[in-house]
Amino acid sequence: MSNLSLRVLAAVVAIPIIVAICLAGTVYFFGFVTMISGVALYEFYGLARTKGASPQVAIGIFSGFLINLSFYHAKLQTLIAGLFLAEGIAIPFPSQSQLLVIIILVTVVVASAVELFRNKGSAVINLATTLLGVLYVSLFFGTFIGVREIFTPFDPAVFRYFVTAVGTADGDQIYRFGGYTVISIFAVIWICDSAAFHFGVAIGKHKLFPRVSPNKSWEGAISGFLFAVGSAIAAKYLVLQYLSLGSAVVIGCIVGISGQIGDLIESLFKRDAGVKDSSNLIPGHGGALDRFDSLLLVAPLVYFYLDFILF
């Protein structure tokens, strides 16, 4: 079976499952993103090992899981509070930002202390690759969980926004918009990647970044950007009615620019490691890091835009 056939088959199988998980949200989406985050982090550490580093894989993956969990903060807080209140105990619970900072600080301290006893090559390189993986992979994937979970009527700012912009106070409808949003982000990324590839092959003349990815062209990158903006605008009218036209353009620009930069950064890592793919996990697509490299930069920027600007 050809590589193209494998890619198409994998997409046909995976896309309906991903759409269903995005719509369901809650623990299903959290588990899906956390699984991808853990696999991608393991692949990142594999790339680091080809360069002689010895990252602390177990500590990194466990820390990454906790970071992902911090973006599931509201439901986590409700669960823990309920468990303790059932015993008649009221405990203070840190905010999401406090919890995230605590996890990162503890990770740095624990990983540094463990490195004292390892004696496996360069301690600086080992720690650097361990922590970079946690921050670049786990933290950035965690913000995608944050994008899905920010659509809650329990947040006063979000509730006011939807009442004003859409005229709905229906909590289920607000949460469904979160599902539509993450599906749209996936779709815009895929459309951007496809446009960049096909137009790059058809009309690409000027190399974009030959040292990192010699097949990418400026013509392809510009085409991907334009299609990203156009598809984000289309998503606004199809399923994301809560967005203004300006916000749709902003999200399209985020995907069209940062998504392609994320792709180049992952290409840089692979070229440095001397490998074609981060793994052979997904037939025709490579590894989790290969398939979701654009999302790594898109997710945090969309999250910050929604949380700190729009809502």
Q: What is the pLDDT of residues 1-13, one digit of tens each?
A: 555 566 666 667 7
pLDDT tops 90 at residue 24: yes
Q: How far apart are alpha carbons 36 and 17 in whole angstroms? A: 14
User: Which helix (DSSP H) or strand (DSSP E) does residue 292 occupy?
Assistant: none
| Residue tagged 């300006």 (tokens) | 246
Q: How far apart are alpha carbons 181 and 236 in whole angstroms? A: 9
**60: which 2 tokens?**
């990194």
- Per-residue pLDDT tens digits for 89-134: 656 677 888 999 999 999 999 999 999 999 899 999 999 999 999 9
| Residue tagged 């003349």 (tokens) | 205
Q: What is the pTM of this model?
A: 0.92
Q: What is the pLDDT of residue 154?
A: 78
> Residue 282: helix, strand or coil by DSSP?
strand
pLDDT tops 70 at residue 77: no
Work out the average pLDDT over 290-297: 94
- Per-residue pLDDT tens digits for 204-228: 899 998 888 888 999 999 999 999 9
pLDDT tops 70 at residue 84: no
User: Which helix (DSSP H) or strand (DSSP E) does residue 209 occupy?
Assistant: strand 207-209
Q: How far apart are alpha carbons 176 and 239 in whole angstroms? A: 10
Higher pLDDT, 159 or 8: 159
Q: Which of 306, 33, 36, 68 is nearest to 181 (CA)?
A: 306
Q: What is the pLDDT of residue 70?
A: 93
Work out the average pLDDT over 231-239: 97
Number of residues written out for the chain: 311
Beta bridge partners of 207: 217
Band the pLDDT of 82: cuts 50, 70, 90.
low
Q: What is the pLDDT of residue 6?
A: 62
DSSP state of 121: S
Q: What is the pLDDT of residue 14?
A: 80
Q: What is the pLDDT of residue 40?
A: 96
3-state secondary structure 200-219: HHHHCCCEEECCCEEEEEHH
Cα separations in angstroms, 262 against 130, 222, 266: 19, 15, 6
Q: What is the pLDDT of residue 85?
A: 52
Residues 6+ apart with CB under 8 A from 304: 143
Work out the average pLDDT over 38-66: 96
User: How many Cβ atoms sit within 10 Å of the Cβ of residue 83?
Assistant: 11
- Residue 71 contacts residue 95 (beta carbons within 8 Å): no
